[in-house]
Amino acid sequence: MKLGKDFFSRDAEVVARDLLGKILSRKQGKKILKARVVETEAYFDEKDPASRACKNGNLRETMKMQGGTILVYGVHNNWLINFVTGEKGKAEAVLIRALEPLNFNARASGPGLLCKALGIDKNFHGKSILNNKELWIEYNKEKFNIVERKRIGIKKDLSKELRFYIDKNKFISKK
């Protein structure tokens, strides 16, 4: 069962928390790679000094799109993937920080690494994850403790705790 539009139409903070444990599926040729979401972060618009959409008009427009839109952002030598959340017109997004590989063997314990592992690049930018042939997310009922912490690797961060990850999971990124 894939996640639908209503899942992404909620607040970024709620979606980020709820996205943990879900199965991210990536179709590569005839193979389907599956990985569990273990670490996420919520991002906002003007109020968020960490988000580049704060100053970047294009990204801001993308974040205002319908929930479920894929937002790929390149920095340094890596691609970072986000999913737009909230209703249309609301600029919110959730960054996927780390995945736990289920049926493949590759490092995915970091925003850049997981994109590399799943072959995600800027070609996915602006596309929707709803009814996507190559990338989608499946439900997964599972119990675990969710930890809330401050975000990582950002110069100016909000004092709010917008980073979520699964407690005691070995695949979350360091620091």
Partner DNA sequence: AATCAGATTTCCT
Partner DNA sequence: GGAAATCTGATTA
- Sites of contact with DNA (CB under 7 A): 41, 43, 50-53, 55-59, 71, 73-78, 80, 82, 93, 95, 107, 110-113, 122, 152-155, 173
d(CA 94, CA 40): 7
Of 74 and 103, the one with the shorter C-beta distance to DNA is 74
Nearer to DNA, 61 or 142 (CB): 61
CB of 152 to DNA, least distance (A): 6
In angstroms, give the least distance from the CB of 61 to DNA. 9
**At closest approach, how far in Å is the CB of 12 from DNA?**
11
**Residue 101, token pair as written in the block:** 């590989």
The residue among 33 and 162 lying less far from DNA, judged by its C-beta, is 162
Three-state SS for 111-149 is HHHHHHHHCCCHHHCCCECCCCCCEEEECCCCCCCEEEE
The span from the CA of 33 to the CA of 76, in Å, is 26
